[in-house]
Amino acid sequence: MARNEAIPTQGERVEKLAETRLGEEGSRRTFLKVLGAGAAAVAAGCGDTAPTTEEFFRQHYKKLTDKEKQRIFRRVEEETLARTGVQTHISDPPPIDGVEFAYALNLSVCNGSRRCVEACARENNLPDDPEIRYIRVMEMEAGSLDFEEATANYDHDKVPAKDKFYLPVQCHQCDNPPCVRACPVGATWKEPDGIVVVDYSWCIGCRFCVVACPYFARRFNWTQPSVPPERINPNQGYLSNRPRFKGVVEKCTFCLHRTRKGRLPACLEACPTGARKFGNLNDPNSEIRKIIESKRVYVLKEDLATLPRFYYFFA
């Protein structure tokens, strides 16, 4: 966690950003020029809908006061309203004391229907073009656990297909997250309740975290994401499903705008087979604790010591 405490200053961040956008060799010479020209020069690499200058030059999320946050939330709401005509509400629920989230998935009953994938997309305002989805459902041969032979692109009339089984993968909210270590500007970090979050406005789009994640859980906005107004979920969290922009990385946040208010994640509620389980690891009576205590659970790529909070089991 020590790495997190030293948050780079805005100047250091812009220098990294210039490196990312303009190439390392050019960055030293152009850095001052870039800084002098304000956000515009760098934003030119981001496309037409880059964050506003105020958003671009704001403090790191962790250094914002409550008052500043409220002002930012209202501004983002106004921007969304002006752009799409949808009145959204941005909240920023803090981690709950004594709560550590964990997820478990019952592979015996998952039938590969991808209902979770689409429910997640609607809840988190994920674009259809270019398509971004946080969850990938891997189809494998029954009796095997071979990711080399698995495919996420299966397209059957009916699932489950004969002699196949299904394993959905999303962000594992690792306790030892390689993505957080890889970020050069501290734009992603682990919260006390176990959720790894991204400050979209601080992200410089270098995509080191995307490469560092051994579960392929992070997604990069190669173009400006657009969600049709009728599909926008107005219940938004600042660190989860608020509008993102071209050139930033995003990922599953266990629906923190829901779960930190006590609700269950959208993917869980959408699962037709009840394969998904979520809860507070610190509560001895929670379902998640009973699963971990009574079932044989396992995690993906345990040998990498990423300590995931996402468990798989058969029951």
Say if CB 259 and CB 99 are below 8 A apart. no
Q: Taking CB under 8 A as the rule, does residue 250 contact other proteins?
A: no
Q: Which helix (H) or strand (E) holds 266?
A: helix 266-270
The helix (H) or strand (E) run that includes residue 277 is strand 276-280
CB of 270 to other proteins, least distance (A): 9
Contacting other proteins (CB under 8 A), which of 41, 264, 299, 300? 264
- Separation of alpha carbons 266 and 299, rounded Å: 22
Q: Which stretch binds other proteins (CB under 8 A): 41-49, 68-76, 188-196, 232-240?
A: 188-196
User: Cβ(169)–Cβ(138) under 8 Å?
Assistant: yes
Exposed/middle/buried for residue 175 (C-beta within 10 Å: 0-12, 13-18, 19+): middle
Please select the residue that binds other proteins; options are 5, 6, 163, 285, rule is CB under 8 A. 285
* 64-72, 76-84, 173-181, 238-246 -> range binding other proteins (CB under 8 A): 173-181
Residue 139 near residue 153 (C-beta atoms within 8 A): no
Question: Could you say whether residue 315 binds other proteins (CB under 8 A)?
Answer: yes
Q: What string marks each residue from 21 to 40 as x (binds other proteins by CB under 8 A) or -? A: --xxxx--------------
Question: Is residue 76 close enough to count as binding other proteins by CB under 8 A?
Answer: no
Which span (7-15, 67-75, 127-135, 197-205) binds other proteins, by CB under 8 A? 127-135
Q: Quick one: tokens of 162?
A: 């004969």
Interface size with other proteins, residues (CB under 8 A): 78
Of 48-56, 112-120, 197-205, 242-250, which segment contacts other proteins by CB under 8 A? 112-120
CB of 185 within 8 A of CB of 12? yes
User: Distance between CA atoms of 132 and 85, rounded to whole angstroms?
Assistant: 23
Report the residue from 133, 218, 219, 257 that binds other proteins according to the rule CB under 8 A: 133
